[in-house]
Each structure stands twice: as structure tokens, then as C-alpha cells.
Chain A
Amino acid sequence: MKKFGGPVLFLDRSDINTDEIIPAKYLTEITKEDLKPYLLEDLKLPGFDPKSDKTFGAGAVVTRANFGCGSSREHAPWVFEVNGIHVVIAESFARIFRQNMFNCGMAAIELAPGQIDRLFTFADAADATIEVDVANTSLTIKGGGREESMQFEISPFDKALVLAGGWVDYADSKY
């Protein structure tokens, strides 16, 4: 199973689409690894620098509503995966992006807006990190000398996919 967590990249906007996560012009790449330099290259967010160490050093993303809307491209989860970001925490996700995450054995965690607000109170802490325990559906955020834990829910199927490492092996053994 993958490691879920690390330094947090806070993306304070709703409706971040898959074109922003990985622009269509890079869909001609044949391997996931080739996507690596283009993470969030076209993200429209004031002050955001896609080429910064903060972006490429992240291990988790915290964001708002309808994350991953638009195209079905699994290149969006893949560009996170090859950069070591295995968990995205949001108020809500677009359906295809959410399923793509779990299908790859990664975690797309939905929290209530109030809980997302709590996580964003750590956004100014340069050392903010999140650790996620998928098996126990809990997470802990630390930063600026503070610490906060919370529980989350994921469907039993999605949890099984994460624990199995993805959908292909699961389906091939079962169907």
C-alpha cells in the first residue's frame, strides 16, 4: 500500500479542472513518469507557482469543492502519483476523478466544508503536514506548533481498492 500524506499543498479554490491539473497537450505522453514536470502547470490561482519546491515537495493536497471536474483523463491522478501525492482531501470531487484516484490505489477523501475550513487554518504554517490512515479512516494535520485529528468516511469499496492497490488486480481475480 502507498504512503498517504506528507507536506500539504493547499489549493484554496473550487472547480479546479483536469486541464489545470495536467493540460491536454501532455496527453500525448505514453508513460506516467513523463508527466512529472507538468503538475498543476495551468492552475489558475493567485500566487500559485507550479514550478516551486512547495508544489513538487508536497505529499497531500487540500482543496475545496468539485475538484477534478472536466475530462476523464487518468493523467490527473497519475501526475499526482508520480510526484508522490497519493491523497487529495476536498469538500467534493467530480465523479470520474474520484474513481480514478481509488482505481489507482490512491485516496480521494471528502470532508464537510467546516472540516476543510479547519484544515485551511494550517495553510499559513510552512511546515504543515498531513498523515492519513486509510485503514482506520483518520487523519492528523500538524503545523505551526499545532495539531488536529479528524475522522473521515470512504465507501467500503473504495477502501478495498486502496488496500488492494487498485482495481485491475481486484477485478481480474474476482470477475
Chain B
Amino acid sequence: MGMTTAQKIFAAHLVDEPFAGTKVLGIDVVMCHEITTPIAIADLMARGKDRVFDTTKIKAVIDHVTPSKDSKTATQAKMLRDWARRHDIKDFFDIGANGVCHAIFPEKGFIRPGNTVIMGDSHTCTHGAFGAFAAGVGTTDLEVGILKGVCAFREPKTIRINLNGTLPKGVYAKDAILRVISELTVNGATDRVIEFGGPIVDAMTMESRMTLCNMAIEAGGTSGICAPDRVTVDYLWPFISDSFASKEAAVAEYAKWASDADAEYDKVIDLDLSNLTPLCTFGYKPDQVKSIEEMAGTPVDQVYVGSCTNGRIEDLRVAAQILKGKKIAPTVRGILSPATPQIYKEAVAEGLIQIFMDAGFCVTNPTCGACLGMSNGVLAEGEVCASTTNRNFMGRMGKGGMVHLLSPATAAASAIEGKLADPRKYL
């Protein structure tokens, strides 16, 4: 019997199986941000164990509230900063160089096919786009990861999702993953890895694959996973060119992590998306999804483009294409947060920032901020936001606020009209 990508990664990283069904894995990348890491640091200090297992495998960034908004968030940032300096963490990203963790770490080439990745952040599943096993964990798992470089898991089964056909005009990875979540429901993938394949995924950029994998957790999934291929190698090439004679050689090497043809899946779901319309969430759970045609006309107070889901350069390009030469509705606050400084610089160089600003958007620095209602765009009670983010829980972006999850294109169209709007008429 063949193996899935997740099974291969588990087998290659197994450190211990203390009890049947529990596998302790060696971790290749332990990522840290300033919200969930400081309490781990404080606990390690209190235990007299203020050590790190490897200064090169731990990556750290201040991203959730940056620049700090008050004394408490300044203290959190300082705790992470002091710790990173104290332990000489090689890859630490602070003000001026910092961006949203799940955008900046892939951009730096830190995640490779076959890796194990953990972070004290539920959207860590994003990094499975590189053919890695990447799981969000709590602070205690993070703490042990920092100290020992290991993490315990129940070996997850794999749900295979084949995205068949071709995506129609105006329909993107965000719409595809909303469709998948509505199929699986919010806990349909609990203790499961979601493996995405099929012709639509094969044709996707790494940015789009990250958008897909990013929201695996919204169906309860442990990690998203896409098979590594030529697209993966092209993205990673600046970081791996010294290790391989050619791109073909890298593709051949990484192919060993792809699921075998006879791998056994928990279930296989085939979705033909050739007739998919732009989608949008309507309630307070990410599996409550409707066509934009049904939702069009719903007034919005704020439009947010950014986050680890949709704050990458291709997202900004799509939104800018729609916004070019237009003004957003006077009743709408438009906020753009490019996810990393690199993306921000590219957007400046390509003239995208000019388009957003001419349309009436406010452009903020890279940060998670508004997505989780921490800063830079928190909603007031009763307000509605059309958002390219990943979670629409009640109050997520501010107590009493309502969030509609949608693609950057749909966000841009909605900003122009001041209400949820179909982007296809602008393309």
C-alpha cells in the first residue's frame, strides 16, 4: 500500500511513539510570534529552562500588533525581541522588516517540501502548500518545540480534495477554499490533513496554494497539503539553487514527498469548479457560504484587503485591476495591508499602491491587526466588513461586528459599490 504525503513526513520525522496512536516528531521549523510566544518564554524562565533547541530552526516575527499600540503589546514585542537577541535567533523580523508570519516565512524560503512546521498560530496549516506538514499548536506545544524541537501528534488521516475543471473568470483560490469548507463543514476535517490536488491546483501559483491551505483549519484540518512540483521549485529556486544541479533535479528530488498513486485516503472528494461563482460567507461560521449573486447588495462599512490568506502580491494585483481609475463608495472605509515589506515594495514598484490610494484606500504597514480585531481597522458594534481574511466568527474583527469572507476581487468590487458586489462585471 502506498503512502500519503503526511504519512511519508511522519515516517521520516518519527522520534518516538510513547503510546499506540501518538507520534512524537522532530520539527524542522518552529515559528514564533509575539502573541503566543511570550508566555512560553516566561514559563521556560520560571522553570529555569530558558534554552532553545536550535537557533537556526526557530524563526520569530513581531506581526500581530505592530507597531505596538499600547504598553501591553509593547511589552509582548519586547519579550520576544529580548528573547530572540538573548538566544541569537538567526531569523528574527522586527519593525521595518516584519510581516504577517504565514506570508513572510514562506517568502524567505524557510519551508521546504517534506518539512515539519509548528507555530502557536492556527493558520500554520498555510505552509503545507509546499508539501510540508504544518500544524498550528498551543503555547505549551510551542514551548516544548522551542526547548526540544519535538511535537506530539495523533497521526492524522488524509482527506483528498480534487479540484477539477478550470476556475472561471473572477473566481479564485479563495472562492475554491470557501467551496471546500462549505462541503466539509467546520469540523469535517478534525484530526485530518486536507490534501489538495487536481488540475486546478496543478495550475495554481504558490500564492494561491497558500490561500487554499491557509483555511484548512476552518474545516478543522490539522494541515493543508499540496504536492511539491515545478511551481514549488520555481518559487523556492532563489533559496535552493546551490543544492541542485537543475530545477528538474529539484523537482525529481521533491517528488518523493508526493502521495503515492495507491495511497489510502480517509475519503476522496471530487469537485468540478468550472461553474463556480464568486463566493461569500453570510453567517458567523466559515462554512456558511453563498454565491455573491445571492449576497450582492448587502451594505458594508469597511473593506479589508490583507492577512495571511489574501495579502500577497497576486491578491493586490487582482484588487488593483478592479479599482484602477475608480473611487470607492463614500460610505466605505477601504483598508489595505500588504502582508510583507517585500510585497509592499513590489506593490509600490508596480503602481498598485497608487491605484489603491487614488481609489480612496488607506494603506497600512504589514500586520495581522484588523483580521483578529487587535488594531488597524477594528469594527464598531453593528458594523459590517467585507474582508479577504479567514475567520468570520461573531466579533472577530471587533465586538458586535459582522465579517463577510471573500476574495480580493470581490472585496474590491464591494468597495466600489459600498455593498457586497459581484467582481465579474469589473473584469
Contacts and interface: CB of A to CB of B under 8 A. Distances in A.
B43 A168 contact: yes
A72 B137 contact: yes
Interface string B14-41: 0110111110100000000001101100
A32 B39 contact: yes
Contacts of B186: 15, 66, 69
A175 B23 CA distance: 13
A1 interface: no
A111 to B, nearest CB: 16
Given A66-B186, A167-B144, A23 B138 contact: no
A163 to B, nearest CB: 12
A59 interface: no
Interface size class of A (residues with CB under 8 A): 35 or more
Interface stretch (B69-77, B305-313, B321-329, B335-343): B69-77
Interface in A123-175: 155-157, 160, 166-168, 171-172, 174-175
Given A77-B138, A99-B138, A171 B122 contact: no
Residue of A70, A95, A157, A166 most packed against chain B (CB within 10 A): A95
A6 B159 CA distance: 39
A166 B9 CA distance: 26
Contacts of B147: 168, 171-172
A94 B285 CA distance: 14
Given A28-B72, A74-B139, A103-B141, A95 B19 contact: no
B28 to A, nearest CB: 16
Interface stretch (B101-109, B207-215, B243-251, B393-401): B393-401
A70 B140 contact: no
Given A30-B42, A174-B16, A74 B187 contact: no
Interface stretch (B148-156, B230-238, B273-281): B148-156
A62 interface: no
Nearest to B152: A157
Nearest to A19: B393
Contact of B138 (A15, A17, A73): A73
B374 A168 contact: no
B39 A157 contact: no
A172 B36 CA distance: 20
Contacts of B139: 74, 100
Residue of A71, A100, A104, A166 most packed against chain B (CB within 10 A): A71
Interface string A26-41: 0111111000000000
Given A19-B396, A42-B399, A157-B19, A69 B220 contact: yes
Nearest to A73: B36
A32 B143 CA distance: 15
B175 interface: no
Interface of A: 15, 17, 19-20, 23-25, 27-32, 42, 44, 65-66, 69-74, 77, 92-96, 99-100, 103-104, 155-157, 160, 166-168, 171-172, 174-175
> Closest 3 interchain pairs by CB?
A100-B138, A103-B140, A74-B138
27 contacts: A17-B393, A19-B396, A27-B35, A28-B70, A31-B39, A31-B42, A42-B395, A66-B220, A69-B220, A70-B391, A71-B372, A72-B36, A72-B136, A74-B140, A92-B190, A95-B220, A96-B137, A96-B138, A99-B137, A100-B138, A100-B139, A157-B152, A168-B43, A168-B147, A171-B148, A175-B16, A175-B150
Given A73-B36, A156-B20, 18 more contacts: A19-B394, A23-B399, A24-B373, A30-B79, A32-B39, A42-B394, A65-B187, A66-B220, A72-B124, A74-B138, A92-B187, A103-B140, A156-B22, A157-B22, A168-B147, A174-B16, A175-B15, A175-B16
